[in-house]
Amino acid sequence: MHIVHVVGARPNFMKVAPVLHALAGRPGVTQTLVHTGQHYDPNMSDVFFQQLGIPAPDVNLSVGSGTHARQTAEIMTRFEPVVVERKPDMVLVYGDVNSTVAATLVCSKLGVLVGHVEAGLRSFDRAMPEEINRLVTDQLADLLFTPSEDGDVNLHREGIPKEKIHLVGNVMIDSLVRLLPEIVRHTRSDLPKRYALVTLHRPSNVDDSEALKGILKSLLEVSQDLAVVFPAHPRTRQRIADFGLNADQLRLLDPLPYVEFLALQRGATVVITDSGGIQEETTYLGVPCLTLRNNTERPVTVSVGTNVLVGQDAQKLRSELANILDGKAKKGTVPPLWDGRAGERIADVLTGTQLSGSVSLPGAKKDVSHSTPSKPVVR
């Protein structure tokens, strides 16, 4: 069985690693890794490959940045010939980034099976580009691997046949569990004992000058009580400069490698973020997390974990922070199946399922053929 994995952006890399590793040991499986090049800065990409033990990509589509339409279209145009040439039995896509939906669209039209890792998450907010990517990808995917039960519930509600859905747990936590000994060993001597760790990159928070100004003002307030350590995403740093905003009181750092960043999370008094994955990692680590969003596609981090949604409400951020500093932080537990074995469960499903011949997956395309782009498959 030939499996092609498609990744492109930073949060994909910690998700593909455990699946690649789990499948590497399975007889009869060959794997191809495609990097779309959506993220291309070395500190957004290469360093993650090294630390996570991911082999160099077999194919790099080098698409780079662009508007959503341009980036998605570019990935599709460059990925299509790869699928036609390599004839995979299954293409695995990860998370909710533009690379995820672009690769899924290409495969669906070529009649190639798609598996979506981290399926079923919903913020119910279609203003988020990622929500659009999730909805489209899940409608088209043939196998849907969910991290938590809410994902299954969402997919059932959208009419996805239950045979396609596999509750496998959280692959991102697999990477965390595997590298935890290194994360624990990693200490920084240049930081105070207590600090707030901040990340920020959602368009709704950083592309609007008023929103970003308000958040930075709140963070400056936080910095009166607690050092604020802020590894900034390239787009965020760019916006701070574009809007002429002041972040002088904050310790602005370049994006950090995986182990260094997880070590900072583990040691933080509080994490303040608008990321999706960080809500999950803090829940696993038991570190208080204040999320600068009004919704989350990862509700389990709020219902059982350490996460609290504060949106852009400065007052709420202040009062939740005061609770944490008073030692009254919310205590969480780790959701079921966030145990470091999700990648193995995905490998079990894939290798236990016959993808060609007379047996086909429920709802999957039959007679998978690989046409040239000029002769699309008509089904």
Residues that bind ligand UD1 (CB under 6 A): 9-11, 38-41, 44, 65, 71, 96-98, 129-130, 201, 233-235
- Nearer to ligand UD1 (CB atom), residue 133 or residue 146: 133
Q: In the complex, what is the shortest distance from the CB of residue 335 to ligand UD1, in angstroms, rounded to a whole number?
A: 20
Q: In the complex, what is the shortest distance from the CB of residue 356 to ligand UD1, in angstroms, rounded to a whole number?
A: 31
- Nearer to ligand UD1 (CB atom), residue 71 or residue 108: 71
Write out the two tokens for 368.
């998978």
- Nearer to ligand UD1 (CB atom), residue 41 or residue 163: 41
CA angle at 177 for the pair 176 and 183, rounded to the nearest 5°: 60
Q: In the complex, what is the shortest distance from the CB of residue 322 to ligand UD1, in angstroms, rounded to a whole number?
A: 29
Q: Which amino acid is at 184?
A: V
- β-bridge partners, 34: 6, 59
Q: In the complex, what is the shortest distance from the CB of residue 347 to ligand UD1, in angstroms, rounded to a whole number?
A: 25
Report d(CA 329, CA 287) in Å as an integer.
Answer: 9
Q: Is 201 a catalytic residue?
A: yes
Q: In the complex, what is the shortest distance from the CB of residue 235 to ligand UD1, in angstroms, rounded to a whole number?
A: 4
- Nearer to ligand UD1 (CB atom), residue 38 or residue 154: 38
Total Cβ atoms within 10 A of residue 302: 18
Catalytic residue, chosen from 21, 116, 166, 201, is: 201
Q: In the complex, what is the shortest distance from the CB of residue 114 to ligand UD1, in angstroms, rounded to a whole number?
A: 17
Q: Is 186 exposed, middle or buried (0-12, 13-18, 19+ CB in 10 A)?
A: middle
- Nearer to ligand UD1 (CB atom), residue 121 or residue 219: 121
- Nearer to ligand UD1 (CB atom), residue 231 or residue 340: 231
Q: In the complex, what is the shortest distance from the CB of residue 88 to ligand UD1, in angstroms, rounded to a whole number?
A: 22
Total Cβ atoms within 10 A of residue 322: 11
- Nearer to ligand UD1 (CB atom), residue 66 or residue 214: 66
Residues with catalytic function: 201
